């Protein structure tokens, strides 16, 4: 997850500090707390956990004229049921582990290159 967050940070033109969780993992408080502890970003759990159904409803409301813009429809439809903040001490543990992971990846890539596998 941390690799994905780092990549999104690199690609994003707009800084963000909130991640919204949808789907089955959004039903588990343990998984929801794990995300901010790893990413060091706030995680919000919307009341509607199924993103595709929520997206379809938002599109339908705009298409039928109930709302005049997607921004307006999203504001009306997306309600947050819980917010999870990073626990600093736990985040530091994950951060150290991630640094070790990145070192291993660099080392393994160098080995793979040296034997012609990469």
Phi, psi angles (nearest 5°) of residue 116: 80, 20
Which token pair is 104?
């291993």
Give the pTM.
0.80
CA distance 36 to 26: 13
List, in sequence order, every beta strand (DSSP E) within 5-106. Answer: 18-20, 42-46, 80-84
Place of tokens 């502890």: 37
Average pLDDT estimate for 45-73: 94
pLDDT of the residue at 31: 94
Give me the pLDDT at residue 7, please.
Answer: 93
Mean pLDDT of 55-70: 96
Mean per-residue pLDDT over the chain, rounded: 94
């Amino acid at each position: 997850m941390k690799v994905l967050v780092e990549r999104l940070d690199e690609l994003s033109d707009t800084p963000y500090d909130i991640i919204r969780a949808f789907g089955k993992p959004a039903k588990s408080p343990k998984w929801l707390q794990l995300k901010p502890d790893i990413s060091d970003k706030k995680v919000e759990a919307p009341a509607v956990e199924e993103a595709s159904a929520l997206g379809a409803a938002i599109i339908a409301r705009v298409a039928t004229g109930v709302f005049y813009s997607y921004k307006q429809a999203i504001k009306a439809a997306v309600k947050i049921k819980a917010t999870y903040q990073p626990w600093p001490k736990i985040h530091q543990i994950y951060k150290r582990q991630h640094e070790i992971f990145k070192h291993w990846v660099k080392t393994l890539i160098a080995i793979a290159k040296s034997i012609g596998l990469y």
